[in-house]
Amino acid sequence: MKKKLTALILGAAMSLSLLAGCGGGNASKGPAELKLQLWDEAQLPTIQENVDKFNKDHEGEIKVTVEQIPWDTYWTKLDASLETDEAPDVFWMNNYVAKYQAAGLLEPLDSYIEKDSSFDPNSYVQGRYTFFNLEGSQYALPKGLDSVVVALNTELFSRYGVDLPKDGWTWDDMRDIADQLKAAIAAAGGSEYPIVMELDAQPSFMNFLYQNGGYYLSDDGKTCGINEPASKDAVQQVVDLMVNGQMAPYSVLSETKGTDLFISGQAGIVFIGSWKSSVLESSSLAAAGNIQLIQMPSMAVDNHCCLGGLGYTISQRCKNKDAAWEFVKYITGEEAMTHEAEKGIDVPANINAQSAYVANFKNINAQVFMDAAATGFAYPTNGNFDWVSYPNDAMQEAFGQTKTVDEAMESGAAQAQKVLDELFS
């Protein structure tokens, strides 16, 4: 009886999975099929065009399909799928690369690089190429790079009679300008803010910490440094901007993104990443010729920006790895990246494609992003992300003024350090 019951339950379960209709492998002899997974909807159309071109060039041999998954769920979905046949063959990768490399989910590219005489590593910005080199092996080819600059609303400056800042400016200059703007806005009964910024790490505090001589993560990846005096001072300076009405308050910035406030004409100055370039370019503000880009102001040390960017990796589970290599080489190569650059969707990490990028922008001077990239430093990461929520939450607590800078940084660093110490013990 018991056996029968088990059999029945199993039967029910099986019929359920039949009902589900598992597709099953179709082992036809068609072209090698590859699935590419990425997150950015805005880049999808251009990348699709590149993929179509690639498919046409390799008709009958390789067929690539693209799947876009929004950023919010990209990594969760990727993690789930990497254990199944649903796994993408090629996918976008960023600072998480070390995590996936450590889990053995990525295919090392060294043997393909060696075999392939048509491939030249020197065609990429070296800082981005070596970023994906872990424990002596290359795990991805870089697609683009993210730099951070400042955008000015020139119409707003002239309307309120304030002079525009110039490259080489400092935070003191910025505060001075913000005060002038603030006074003029108040006098005219306006509702604009002198300065705005995004609250995410990369376009904001990740730059300020280092520009002021502090650090987020030590070079050996073992120490979180947000509680260093120079780090605290950098954060305090941002908080002071908000307190003094030079920057939009936290409650406003956490509801409406800095970029959105800026392009809707609500701000004079915004710290902005190059990944927003097409948003700027297509705004009515830029169309009217009212956006000017300049380098960030210097803090105690310099004004260098934090450099991010993503690359293409090949899954360990991929069944057509040679085809995948061909594709990755193409999609990060000169032809494809020139096309991306012409569409202005990403600052190319491929040097041969960079000039096409700048030429493409009519309403903003995109060369400023390139110049910022030239002196940029690599985004600090050690491949583990269990600890990062603590410093990031601490920043939000400090900016939101629910804690003092001192309290927030000390407790954030202590919690992060606890995880880091466990990790490296």
Partner 1 sequence: MKQKSTHFNRLKRYEAGTAYLFVLPMLAGLLIFSIIPFVQNILYSFRKMGTFGEGTFVGLKNYRDLLQDETFWLALKNTFFYAIVGVPLVIILSIFFANLLNKNIRGRTIYRTLLYIPAITMPAAISILWRWILNYQYGIFNYFMEKLGLPRVSWLGDVKFVRWAIILVLVWSMVSYYTIIMLAAMQGIDRSYYEAARIDGATNRQLFFKITLPLLGPMIFFSMIMVTIGILQIFDFIYLMVDRDTLPYTYSMSLVTYFYECAFNKSSMRGYGAAISVVLAVIIMIITIIQMVVKKYWIKTEE
Partner 2 sequence: MKRNRLQGESPLSRVLNHVLLIFASFLAFGPFVWMFLTSIKTYEETIRIPLKFLPDVAQWNNYATISAKLNFPRLYLNTILVTIMAVLGQLLIVTLCAYAFARLRFPGKNVIFLGMLALMMIPGQIFTIPRFKLMVKLGLTNTLVGLALPNLFNIFGMFLMRQFFSTIPRELDEAARIDGCSFFRIYWNVLLPLVKPGLTTLAILTMLSTWKDLMWPLINNSDASKMTLAAGLAMLIGEHTTYYEQVMAGGVIAVLPLIVLFVIFQKQFVESIAHSGIKG
In order of 171, 270, 349, 398, the CA distances from 243 in angstroms are: 16, 17, 39, 12
Structure-derived torsion over alpha carbons of residues 379, 383, 387, 388, reported in degrees to the nearest 10: 30
When binding is defined by CB under 8 A, the residue of 19, 27, 166, 187 that contacts partner 2 is: 19
How many other C-beta atoms lie within 10 A of the C-beta of residue 424? 12
252 binds, among partner 1, partner 2, none (CB under 5 to 8 A by kind): partner 1
Residue 266 or 332: the one with the smaller Cβ distance to partner 1 is 266
Q: Which does 299 bind (CB under 5 to 8 A by kind): partner 1, partner 2, none?
A: none
- Minimum CB distance to partner 2 smaller for 257 or for 403: 257
Which does residue 23 touch among partner 2, partner 1, none (CB within 5 to 8 A, set by kind)? partner 2
Cβ burial of 77 (10 Å; 0-12, 13-18, 19+) is middle
Q: Using CB under 8 A, which of 43, 46, 55, 81 touches partner 2? A: 81
> String of b and e for 109-142 (b: at least 16 CB within 10 Å)?
beebbeeeeeeeeebbbebbbebbebeeebbbbb
Cβ-contact 361, 293 below 8 angstroms: no
> Which span (66-74, 95-103, 213-221, 380-388) binds partner 2, by CB under 8 A?
66-74
Number of residues that this document lists for the chain: 425
Binding to partner 1 in span 42-81, by CB under 8 A: 72-73, 75-76, 79-80
CB of 172 to partner 2, least distance (A): 32
Per-residue binding string, partner 2, 245-284, x by CB under 8 A, is -----------xx-xx--xx-------------------x
Tokens of 225: 């440094």
Specify burial of residue 362 (Cβ count, 10 A radius: 0-12, 13-18, 19+): exposed
Q: Which of 12, 188, 301, 374 touches partner 1 by CB under 8 A?
A: 12
Q: Which amino acid is at 114?
A: E
Judged by beta carbon distances under 5 to 8 A according to partner kind, the member of partner 1, partner 2, none in contact with residue 276 is none
The interface partner of residue 118, options being partner 2, partner 1, none and the CB cut-off 5 to 8 Å by kind, is none
- Rule CB under 8 A: is residue 33 a binding residue for partner 2? no
Site string for partner 2, 306-325 (x = CB under 8 A): --------------------
**208, 234 in Cβ contact below 8 A?**
yes
d(CA 8, CA 298): 72
Would you call 133 helix, strand, or coil by DSSP?
Answer: strand
Nearer to partner 1, 158 or 264 (CB): 264
167-226 residues in contact with partner 2 (CB under 8 A) are: 191
Residue 13 Cβ, how far from partner 1 at the closest point, in Å? 6
Work out whether 90 is an interface residue with partner 2 (CB under 8 A). Answer: no
- List the beta bridge partners of residue 149: 272
Helix, strand, or coil (residue 149): strand
Closest to 345 (Cα-Cα) out of 260, 280, 272: 280
What is the maximum span of the chain, computed from C-alpha positions, in angstroms? 90
In three-state secondary structure terms, 33 is: strand
- The verdict on 102 binding partner 1 (CB under 8 A) reads no
Are 78 and 88 in contact by the 8 Å Cβ rule? The answer is: yes
Reported as type and span, the H/E element at residue 291 is: strand 291-294
53 binds partner 2 (CB under 8 A): no
d(CA 52, CA 388): 38
Question: Which of 11, 70, 121, 168 lies at the binding interface for partner 2 (CB under 8 A)?
Answer: 70
70 binds, among partner 2, partner 1, none (CB under 5 to 8 A by kind): partner 2
Q: Smallest distance, Å, CB 255 to partner 1?
A: 3
Question: Using the rule CB under 8 A, which residue among 33, 49, 155, 200 binds partner 1?
Answer: 200
Phi, psi dihedrals of residue 92, rounded to the nearest 5°: -70, 140
Report the nearest approach of partner 1 to the CB of residue 197 (Å): 13
Q: Which chain residues interact with partner 2 by CB under 8 A? A: 16-17, 19-23, 41, 67-73, 76-77, 80-81, 83-86, 191, 256-257, 259-260, 263-264, 284
Q: Which chain residues interact with partner 1 by CB under 8 A? A: 8-9, 12-13, 16, 72-73, 75-76, 79-80, 82-83, 99, 103, 191, 199-200, 249-257, 261, 266, 385-386, 389, 392-393, 396-397, 399-400, 402
